[in-house]
Structure 1
Amino acid sequence: MNSSLQFLDRLLEVIEKNIAPITSEFVKEGNMLFGGAILTKNDYALVCADTNKITEWPLLHGEISCLRTYNALPAAERPAPTDCIMIATHEPCALCLSAITWTGFDNIYFLFSYADYKPIFDSTKILKQVFGNPNGEYRRENAYWSSYCIAKLVDDLEESDGRKKALQGRVAALRERYNGINKVYEEVTKAKGIHIPRVTGE
């Protein structure tokens, strides 16, 4: 796990500049607010970023869409998954966790947890119903990868010349930004009569 100020600053920058702008455009078509990006571990360079495109295909969740973009890169330009960092704007659902596992990434950093976006979409329901976990949780540390909540890593930092407070402010701003993105999604799907199948089991 990397929880340095420089690293967390970079993760937030990628969400702010590389993921959220794409998502803001695609929600206008009725796609959801979830997105992802891949960075190199050695210098945090952006490999690719993408967003939810479920109006194209229901399985194109944000992370899946990002993995598809990553896999489409020429082999010479595509670093090995174990040399990369997987970023998700929201804690990955069961589908995306499986896809990340099969693709070979050994780490996941997400900004918002299941609890943060439960009012929008409850990703714990499949975990409860299919995998029999009454809490709708999964093992964030396992033989395949480790996953970390960026917002929590920021909150756990020790204060350093106001830089922790600045990062917390950016997390809060992104929370508001994504609330706005989701509002656009809801308005568009209602106006266009777009129905996106959702898992509703308790």
Structure 2
Amino acid sequence: MEITENAQLAARLLSVMQNDILPLTEKGVAEGNKVFGGALLRKSDLSLVMAQTNKETENPLWHGEVHLLKCFYESPVSKQESTKDMIFLSTHEPCSMCMSAIAWAGFDNFFYFFSHQDSRDSFAIPHDLKMLKEVFGLEPGGYNHDNAFWRGRGIFDIMATLPDAEAKPLLNQAQRIRDHYAQLSDSYQESKDDNAIPLN
């Protein structure tokens, strides 16, 4: 099923971030985890299948996206829902491990709110870009956003194509989400030395 990148999609992705992922991330950060999270939505009606957040204090591989996939496949819903019929929402542009996991799980898409540069500059978490550079020799943005596995798009890229009247309320909501994540980032940075995450 084709995904239409329009105001309705952007609004729904922002709503899921604000109402479904952020509350989980607040709890996760309180436990010492990073601010990354994700959600699965049905392409057919944009309804929520599942939301999750980072659990690296439990296992350093449980990035927001990978932990979401773990929980999905441990749930009965995975027997009823096909990944080809779902949208993958990531709060932050996925790292190389998470991009691969999204492909291995059979998704043909992902959408993200914060970019790799945001993770480095606004969240003081440079590992995504460093991994892409050191392991794959890629500069920021250097991976193929359209490839044989999936199409990766930023939510802000969608909003940039919208008429001002449609974009303005979405951009206002996006700023509120940014502000909330900035607070959570401060909390994480203050406590990160207390956990055992290898790349904190």
Q: TM-score, normalised by structure 1?
A: 0.91
Structure 2: gaps of 5 or more residues: none
Distance, in Å, in 2 between the alignment partners of 1:95 and 1:27 is 21
TM-superposed CA distance for 1:194, in Å, is 2.0
Selected match of 1:121 from 119, 125, 131: 125
2:54–2:64 CA contact under 8 A, matched in 1:
yes
TM-superposed CA distance for 1:184, in Å, is 1.3
1:182-197 matches, within 5 Å, as 182-190=185-193, 193-197=194-198
| Percent of matched pairs sharing the same residue | 38
TM-superposed CA distance for 1:5, in Å, is 1.3
1:127–1:136 CA contact under 8 A, matched in 2:
no
Match of 1:51 in 2: 53
Match of 1:16 in 2: 18
How has the CA–CA distance of structure 1 residues 166 and 56 changed in structure 2, closer, same or farther, with 3 Å as cutoff?
A: same
Selected match of 2:183 from 177, 180, 183: 180
Match of 1:157 in 2: 162
TM-superposed CA distance for 1:78, in Å, is 3.5
Q: TM-score, normalised by structure 2?
A: 0.92
TM-superposed CA distance for 1:76, in Å, is 6.8
Instruction: Tell me the matched-pair count.
Output: 195
TM-superposed CA distance for 1:142, in Å, is 0.1
1:99-110 matches, within 5 Å, as 99-110=101-112
Deviations 1:52-101 (A, max 9, x none): 00000000000011111111121575411100000000000011001111
1:70–1:78 CA contact under 8 A, matched in 2:
no
Query: C-alpha root-mean-square deviation of aligned residues, in Å?
Result: 1.6
SS at match of 2:136: coil
Match of 1:133 in 2: 138
TM-superposed CA distance for 1:155, in Å, is 2.4
How has the CA–CA distance of structure 1 residues 50 and 135 changed in structure 2, closer, same or farther, with 3 Å as cutoff?
A: closer
How has the CA–CA distance of structure 1 residues 108 and 76 changed in structure 2, closer, same or farther, with 3 Å as cutoff?
A: closer
How has the CA–CA distance of structure 1 residues 121 and 45 changed in structure 2, closer, same or farther, with 3 Å as cutoff?
A: same
SS at match of 1:47: strand
1:125–1:136 CA contact under 8 A, matched in 2:
no
How has the CA–CA distance of structure 1 residues 71 and 166 changed in structure 2, closer, same or farther, with 3 Å as cutoff?
A: same
**Which AA in structure 2 matches 1:145?**
W
SS at match of 1:36: strand
Deviations 1:98-118 (A, max 9, x none): 111111100000011112221
TM-superposed CA distance for 1:37, in Å, is 0.2
